[in-house]
Amino acid sequence: MSKLKAHLDNIALSHSVFALPFAYMGAFLAAGGVPSGHDLLWITLAMVGARSAALALNNFIDLKYDRLHPRFTQRPMVTGVVKPWEAVLLIAGSLLLFLLAAAQLHPLCLKLWPVALIPLVVYPYMKRFSWACHLVLGLALSAAPVGAWIAVRGDVPPAVLILGLAVGVWIAAFDVIYGCQDVAFDKAHGLNSMPVRFGLEGALRLSKLMHVVSIAGFILVGNFLNLHSVYYVGVVMAAAVLIYQHSIVSPTDLSRVTQQYFMRNGLVGIVLFIFTVVALLSRNY
């Protein structure tokens, strides 16, 4: 059980709160209501597989730096509780689960699987080359709602692309804030990020701008799909969460960028998903 817990910690299973609600949001929007149990099951397994592979791969590739980083001393691969070969096996098993799940959904999912996985593989290397690493993370997460929509309907209309953009920009902006803590470490080890490139003040300003774009995207999704007005209550609540998150950080004080701060961002996806479901059910009934 301790080994299992270590592997769950290594893939940060609790952080599924960031991607899974948006995948379900895409699925419910595609169905115009509640998707079939079959689709929900395999979408969930596809998400678990892809996300587990991505996190384990990220920790495997970044192990050299994680061993030097003072915030990551308790990570399972850093302490040695999870061995590199174990992580490789988990990555392989997770990818197989993802492909198996994709094969159970709309045929287009299996044809497009490289599109979903390439950003996940590229992202861990991006900090070595470009400050745009946060945007690649956003691209990876944008596949959650888009892929779930495709799984249900098999098409890619403008509305779902806007939804993917809104989700991707949202997580990229948050990743910029989180990366502000690591400026000194990144500079010392030749790593790149928006905070390194633009400074803390510039990076936080860009993060705010990206979150504005994200909220605008969620509003457009509601307009494109003619969602019930209750959906916009969720958008307003999500915007309030983001405004609060920005209000408690500054270039001179990042002390509140903690694990609690990190997890609180998951409220955005949860709130939007809940109000999307309510909006769909309100329209149908």
79-101 average pLDDT score: 89
Q: Select from 168, 142, 144, 160 the least CA-distant residue to 44.
A: 144
222-251 average pLDDT score: 94
Task: Determine the pLDDT at residue 13.
Answer: 61
Calculate the average pLDDT of the chain.
90
38-66 average pLDDT score: 90
Confidence of residue 53 (pLDDT cuts 50, 70, 90): confident
Asked whether residue 277 carries a pLDDT value surpassing 70, the answer given is: yes
Q: Name the CA radius of gyration of the chain, rounded.
A: 19
159-168 average pLDDT score: 96
Q: Tell me the C-alpha distance between 161 and 147, whole Å.
A: 10
Q: Tell me the C-alpha distance between 174 and 131, whole Å.
A: 14
Asked whether residue 153 carries a pLDDT value surpassing 60, the answer given is: yes
224-248 average pLDDT score: 94
DSSP per-residue string spanning 215-229: HHHHHHHHHHTT--T
Tell me, what DSSP letter sits at residue 69? -
Dihedral of the alpha carbons of 22, 28, 31, 32, in degrees to the nearest 10: -120
Task: Determine the pLDDT at residue 87.
Answer: 85
What's the 3-state SS for 230-277?
HHHHHHHHHHHHHHHHHHCCECCECCCCCHHHHHHCHHHHHHHHHHHH
Q: Tell me the C-alpha distance between 215 and 99, whole Å.
A: 32
On whether the CB atoms of residues 42 and 152 are closer than 8 A, the answer is: no
Kindly tell me the sign of the dihedral angle through the C-alpha atoms of 194, 200, 203, 207.
positive
Task: Determine the pLDDT at residue 12.
Answer: 62
Q: Tell me the C-alpha distance between 13 and 7, whole Å.
A: 9
Q: Select from 8, 16, 25 the least CA-distant residue to 47.
A: 16
214-230 average pLDDT score: 96
pTM, 2 dp: 0.92
Q: Which of 69-83, 161-175, 222-236 comes out lowest in average pLDDT?
A: 69-83
122-148 average pLDDT score: 93
| Residue-range domain boundaries for the chain | 2-117+127-284
Cβ count near 260 (within 10 Å): 8
Question: 2-117+127-284 belongs to which CATH class?
Answer: mainly alpha
Using a 10 angstrom Cβ sphere, with 0-12 exposed, 13-18 middle and 19 or more buried, the burial of residue 13 is middle
Task: Determine the pLDDT at residue 141.
Answer: 92
How many residues comprise the chain?
A: 285
Dihedral of the alpha carbons of 245, 120, 46, 19, in degrees to the nearest 10: 10
Task: Determine the pLDDT at residue 83.
Answer: 86
Backbone angles phi, psi at 253, to 5 degrees: -145, 100
227-251 average pLDDT score: 94
Q: Select from 35, 24, 57, 224 the least CA-distant residue to 144.
A: 24
Tell me, what DSSP letter sits at residue 67? T
Confidence of residue 36 (pLDDT cuts 50, 70, 90): very high
User: Could you tell me the two tokens for 30?
Assistant: 């595609």
Q: Tell me the C-alpha distance between 77 and 63, whole Å.
A: 7
Q: Which of 11-15, 133-137, 172-176 comes out lowest in average pLDDT?
A: 11-15
